[in-house]
Amino acid sequence: MKIVYAYKKNIYAAYRAAYLHLSLNPQLIPKSRRELMRSHENIKPYYLGIDEDLNEIYIASCGRNYTIFQNAMEGIGRIYGEEVQIILIH
């Protein structure tokens, strides 16, 4: 299964949630919020790692409309036969 932590504006909260999911120390998030936003301008979704249940963990910006993002990710998951769980971070 693929788990995607989707954010609109608060990338740091998405990183923090993903780090906690992966049992990593959130204080190890390497960059400031502004640098994180710049590093994700052209990358969707960004792979972070694999959890203990062998689920792949990603972070992605959902843009302005969460529903469109969710439908696109679930559609791509169906095409490739993968289960996708999207967690929206406000």
Check residue 76 and give its pLDDT: 93
Check residue 10 and give its pLDDT: 85
Sign of CA dihedral 5, 60, 10, 23: positive
Task: State the total domains in the chain.
Answer: 1
pTM: 0.84
Q: How many CB atoms lie within 10 A of CB 24?
A: 15
Check residue 38 and give its pLDDT: 74
Helices (H) and strands (E) in the chain, counts: 3, 4
Q: How many CB atoms lie within 10 A of CB 7?
A: 23
Burial of 51 (0-12, 13-18, 19+ CB in 10 A): middle
Which residue has tokens 């999911």? 21
For the CA atoms of the chain, what is the radius of gyration? 13
Check residue 42 and give its pLDDT: 65
Q: Find all residues with CB under 8 Å of 75, minimum gap 6, and list them.
A: none
* Residue pLDDT tens, the chain, 90 long: 999 999 988 888 898 999 999 999 888 887 777 777 777 776 678 899 999 999 999 999 888 889 999 999 999 999 999 999 999 998
Structural domain including 73 reads 2-89
